[in-house]
A and B are shown apart, each in its own frame.
Chain A
Amino acid sequence: MLRKIRIVVSAVLLTLITLFFLDFAEVLSIDWHILEHLQLVPAVLALNGIIIVALVVLTLLFGRIYCSSLCPLGVYQDVVSRLRKWTMKRKNQKRYKFLPPLNWLRYGFLVVMVGAFVAGLHVLVGLLDPYSAFGRMTVHLLKPLYQAGNNLLFSIFTSFGNHTFYKVGIYLLSVSSLIVALVTLATVSILAWRNGRIYCNTVCPVGTTLGLLSRFSLYQIRFDSSACTLCGSCSRNCKSSCIDFKYMTVDSSRCVTCFNCIDSCKESGLKYRLPRKGERWVQRAGEAPAVSARKKKAAEAAVSPMATPTMATVQSAATPTNEPPARRRFLIAMGVTGVAVARLSAEITLKLGAKKDVKRTRPIMPPGAGNFDRFTELCTSCHLCVAKCPAQVIKPSFLDYGIGGMMQPMMNFDHQFCNYDCTICSEVCPTHALAPLTKEEKHHNQMGVVQLYLENCIVYTDETSCGACSEHCPTQAVHMVPYKDSLTIPEIDQAICVGCGGCEYVCPAKPWKAIFVEGLTAHQTIELEFEEVEEHVVDDFGF
């Protein structure tokens, strides 16, 4: 029963989380981003106290329910394990067996993650966070397929005159992030195929952290020594390889409360329950509860020559059982910033002459990023903003933010520009690396500054009308002023530029644009002044 509930809940959550990433048509309300906010690493980075406390309490009471149902990467591994089960020829083929924990590795990865965060190597934090890893897999591998499927449906339905579907552009966002997503997918899938949840108990720092708590959780899966016949069915069905049936112990630090063992046990030898009086609260592999001599004998008979009790003994190392550290500003990230600042100070002069190669020297951080340090520190590159941007103008960076910020999102105006009224990326960001903006705040948020190279401008080179840049400018930071004859030519006012990229996207000058947006190390707030509304009475035709 518990297992069935677990399966249903996990399937629903995985479906919703995945759909939220894929859903470009806003079928799911944007409010569903709460599912992403429930993820542990984003909650810790966003300093979301309520969610952190809720997850800690949940784990202390009931064990790693988080890993079992809330974590999309965890549930994905269950899907892989299930696929393998279906491909197995013999139904009762031996699947899993008890394995000792790989403590050096699992605590090692946790230390690496915390260390990387402190050192400003945010790319490692992002790589190790299971939610972000899942996000990248979904955005870079599944979303293109989802969009292609949509386009196929569009073709079919439209040929019958039904306009329910519309076609969407499918872009390769970033080669590096695609490769990372592929490698993650391969690693996680192979490990899950062979060893169930070994990734969660060896690599995943979130699994390890929650394992430190679940060791002490109130409800645990515990043996009932009077009922157990030492058949070993539980161990064979344990995805976490954490049940040592010979000693009737469950390593609760690695148990993800999937309840498969309980379902597999025909004798009700395992129960999800509170510790009984006189029973050890914390179960440790290799330390058996009082076992009757008969059973001990049976156990010894069942033990294969390879797995001796000494080998199964667990060194439960006294690792600091703390929460991931609180948010801090880190000087190391400043190294990268320093380069950017130096570049910023390089004065851009407007000299008319030969056409000029223009290129952005600093990436543009998406709306709500605030400043470089804050943004790169908090972003785990889950790419939810990349997935949810209706205009598809957010794409993962490569080395634009430096090595530490690899894969973190930046603006790209090749196919579209940032909608003035849209705040979706900042609303959905689960780590608040993009702090939520209201429409009003977005209107005054400067994420980049317009740069104009008149020597590339059509009006200057060809002496014909254009004005495409000004046309797209929501604040008229680019406006047209009188030029030769009745021509008008663009002029810029950097003080009121929001950096939406409309001008850059639309500028028809080739091969080099005459106008583009330069990134900033810190977003600014702009002042917008509007003309007074004048009363005009039009009471004649005028012709």
Chain B
Amino acid sequence: MDRRNFLRAAILAGAAFTVKRSGAMTVLSQNMNAAPAASGAGRFDMVAVMGGEPAAMFRKAITEMGGMGLYVKKGQKVCIKPNIGWDKAPDMAANTNPLLVAEIVRQCLAAGASEVTVFDHTCDDWRKCYANSGIEDAAKKAGAKVVPADQESYYRSVTIPKGKVLKTTKIHEAILNADVWINVPILKNHGGAKMSISMKNLMGIVWDRGFFHKNDLQQCIADISSLDRRPALNVVDAYRMMKTNGPRGRSEADVVSSKALFLSHDMVAVDTAATNFFNQVREMPLSDVGHLARAEALGIGTMKLDKLKIRRVKI
């Protein structure tokens, strides 16, 4: 190999390296610049992105927010909780997009996380859900540990001091053992709760969901969202959304390609915003989604989006 070719190869390799790692590199550089901040202290209260692919929208959103380093510190154990509730393929919009989950895993690891675990307490057979949602494979390839949640022994009892109805419940150890956790719901219509977004996604961290359904579902969803160990970040996947027959869905007719993503530490705010987004396709008054107002009453977050610093980006 002559010198010219060698240099050419070296330059190309270098360029390829930057291209491949640019997303993570942005985050890393910002991590170094940003002063250590408490969780939730992003540049904005919420970032909403539209028009991109799942991973690209997340990269954009987290960069706008101030970088993953705000939420995940070096050496921390991170838990990511997508919605993997159903034995459905990604295009049926019943589960969180696997590409998004994988990107979040990569970003957490790039921010220095010592371990990233992924789980969900599924409704269908967990092995089929994990496999057919594409999430197990994508998350593992990105470097996460995917752990089961189908046995009561994985859960530990936790008190919910602010809970009105739900005073105590069993929560998955992956959440309890993590230093920080990230909630990654998919935007769906829900027959009982009306909408299934970030607060409803918390039903997948508890063992006894029957209690919720039996004792005022909307209040219990608000109560579980008031737990002390709240998600540092909520990433609402609205790349595809389920407009009807949720949360399971029957056919492609229930799915809308909406190419959006919302990011916030405030579950009430992000669920309010996502419901408004959903409302454009199918009427869904905020007052119908009972857990929103109840969660606001518990002081979990705010439904008053006009008071918030929201960054809207279209890519």
Residues of A within 8 A of B (CB): 163, 166-167, 169, 390-391, 416, 419-422, 458, 462, 464-468, 470-476, 479-480, 486, 488, 506, 508-510, 530-534, 536, 538-543
Contacts and interface: CB of A to CB of B under 8 A. Distances in A.
Nearest to A420: B87
A390 B127 contact: yes
A285 to B, nearest CB: 56
Contacts of A471: 123, 190-192, 247-248
A479 B151 CA distance: 29
B276 A488 contact: no
B253 to A, nearest CB: 4
Contact of A488 (B192, B248, B251, B280): B192
B128 A467 contact: no
B214 interface: yes
B191 A479 contact: yes
B281 interface: yes
A542 B151 contact: no
Contact of A472 (B123, B210, B273): B123
Interface stretch (B7-15, B60-68, B105-113, B215-223): B215-223
Contacts of A468: 192, 209-210, 213
A109 to B, nearest CB: 41
A160 to B, nearest CB: 13
Interface stretch (B29-37, B96-104, B228-236, B256-264): B256-264
B128 A465 contact: no
Contacts of B146: 163
Nearest to B145: A163
Interface in B161-205: 190-194
Nearest to A509: B214
A101 B258 CA distance: 78
Contacts of B87: 419-421
B276 A422 contact: no
Given A474-B250, A480-B192, A543-B276, A465 B217 contact: yes
A242 B260 CA distance: 79
Interface in B254-308: 254, 256-260, 272-273, 276-281, 285, 287-288, 290, 305
B253 A532 contact: yes
20 contacts: A167-B148, A419-B125, A420-B87, A421-B128, A422-B128, A464-B218, A464-B219, A465-B194, A466-B192, A467-B191, A470-B191, A476-B245, A508-B210, A508-B211, A530-B250, A530-B253, A531-B251, A531-B254, A533-B252, A536-B257
A416 B250 CA distance: 20
Nearest to B211: A508
B125 to A, nearest CB: 5
Most B CB within 10 A of own CB, among A419, A467, A479, A509:
A467
Given A486-B287, A541-B48, A475 B250 contact: yes
A540 B305 CA distance: 16
Contacts of B41: none
A480 B191 contact: yes
Contacts of B194: 465, 486, 488
Contacts of B256: 536, 538
B17 to A, nearest CB: 31
A167 B248 CA distance: 26
Interface string B237-255: 0000001110110111110
B312 interface: yes
B210 A506 contact: yes
B128 A538 contact: no
B124 interface: yes
A167 to B, nearest CB: 5
B269 to A, nearest CB: 10
3 nearest A-B residue pairs (beta carbon)? A467-B192, A543-B276, A480-B191
Contact of A543 (B215, B243, B305): B305
B190 A419 contact: no
Contacts of A421: 87, 128
A169 B192 contact: no
Nearest to B140: A163
A540 B280 contact: yes
Contacts of B217: 464-467
A538 B190 contact: no
A468 B200 CA distance: 13
Which of B50, B213, B280 has the most A CB atoms < 10 Å from its CB? B213
B253 A542 contact: no
Contact of B214 (A467, A508, A539): A508
B253 A533 contact: yes
A280 to B, nearest CB: 60
Given A536-B243, A538-B260, A541-B312, A466 B48 contact: no
A322 to B, nearest CB: 45
Given A416-B125, A422-B125, A543-B273, 9 more contacts: A421-B128, A467-B217, A470-B192, A471-B247, A530-B251, A534-B253, A538-B258, A538-B277, A541-B273
A475 B249 CA distance: 8
B151 A167 contact: yes
A61 to B, nearest CB: 44
B151 to A, nearest CB: 5
Contact of A531 (B219, B253, B280): B253
